[in-house]
Amino acid sequence: MKSFALGVTARRTLLGAGLALAAALPAARAQTGWRVEAVPFYDTTQALQGLYGHWGVPRAAAFATAAQALPPALRTLCAAPAAQADAALQGARAAWTGAMLAWEGLSGVAVGPVIARRSQRQIDFAPTRPHLIERAIKAQPQGAAAFERVGTPGKGLPALEWLLWTQPAAAGTPACGYAVEAALDVEREAVALRAAFDAAARTDWAAEDEQERSTQAMAEFINQWVGGIERLRWAHMEKPLRAAQGARAPDYPRAASGQTVAAWKAEWQAVRTLAVLPAGAATPAPGQALVPLETYLRGRGLNPLADRLLAATRSVDAAFTAMNQAGGPPPAAAVQQAARELAALKRLAEADIAPALEVSIGFSDADGD
């Protein structure tokens, strides 16, 4: 009987293929687990526990931590000698970018404390108004009470972006002093949001006296999730693109800092995390983890609708991937494609998901500006 010996190259090829297949199998099983294992039914209480305790709390904590790094970075900038000015400016810009991205990750779907405190208006009003910033620089407000008298278009993250990129504040100037105070104001709001989300996570949504509130909170979540899609699609992407004329570049949010696409991605991840499970993730245990809408629908036997949600989400993913591959400022065609996919996701949410969950769509006056 003839023996057959594989060559070294062939053996390596087969071994590599086997390892790749072995690595892929757990993820494949996890992604299709709902097809072979029953997804538990999640009630409103468990959905809200996941939303506040496993989505809101960690994101609010991340924002508070990032915001607390802002004032020290600004103080370093304001005290920097000329030889260290550029490095100090880069450090302050990095701190701002970290705080901004953490904020987008929390406010991309504005629920609970973000709405109750009107945080979007307080620290992220757009567009910023340079004349109000200049007026505040002259006034030099200090402390929480003084900042309540500063107009929202002259403070917050957009004003700090202006002071770090558009007209960079120099060390020892009134503008730099105001930047420190503006950073402290953002920090105060971030710390307050962290405390508010911690309190919300401790709510006993199953208590008899919380039944009406829990129903309202679930409806708010669905509405604000849809609102987050629309805010990203229209206010942050399509509206600025349509408003641009001739050779003038669109006035996208975070354009001065060059963080437009990064901010969009952070917003989208906030929306996406609440929509579908990450690839390879296990089915969440009731009351112990975030329950994305896809899983919530499957737990109610609405698998075809959950499949459509997953497909629509992946289409948005593909649009953002294509945008990233372009590099540089986002091309108009890529922005339009992403906006179309977001619009399709929004239509699915309004026409099918909300009715399936017996939620009426309507927006609050605190959805954003």
* Residue 174 domain flag: yes
Q: What is the pLDDT of residue 246?
A: 77
* Residue 263 domain flag: yes
C-alpha distances (whole Å) from 28 to each of 25, 66, 91, 221, 348 are 5, 35, 42, 30, 26
pTM over 0.85: yes
Q: What is the pLDDT of residue 36?
A: 54
Give exposure, 158-178, as e/b (b: 16+ Cβ within 10 Å): bbbbbbbbeebbebeeebbbb
Tell the residue number behind the tokens 């629309």, with chain if given.
230
In this predicted model, what pLDDT tens digit does every residue of 141-193 receive, in sequence order? 999 999 999 999 999 999 999 999 999 999 999 999 999 999 999 999 999 99
Domain range enclosing 312: 44-357
* Residue 363 domain flag: no
Q: What is the pLDDT of residue 33?
A: 57
* Residue 207 domain flag: yes
How many Å apart are CA 93 and CA 103, to the nearest integer?
A: 15
Residues of the chain where predicted confidence (pLDDT) is lower than 50: 1-32, 364-369
* Residue 36 domain flag: no
Q: Dig out the tokens for 119 from the structure.
A: 């945080």
Q: What is the pLDDT of residue 369?
A: 39
Q: Which class for 65: exposed (0-12), middle (13-18), buried (19 or more C-beta within 10 A)?
A: middle
Question: Which is nearest to 271 in space by CA: 327, 341, 216, 206?
Answer: 341
Residue 56 belongs to domain with CATH number: 1.20.1420.20
* Residue 199 domain flag: yes
* Residue 4 domain flag: no
Domain count within the chain: 1
* Residue 108 domain flag: yes
Question: Residue 167 carries which DSSP code?
Answer: S
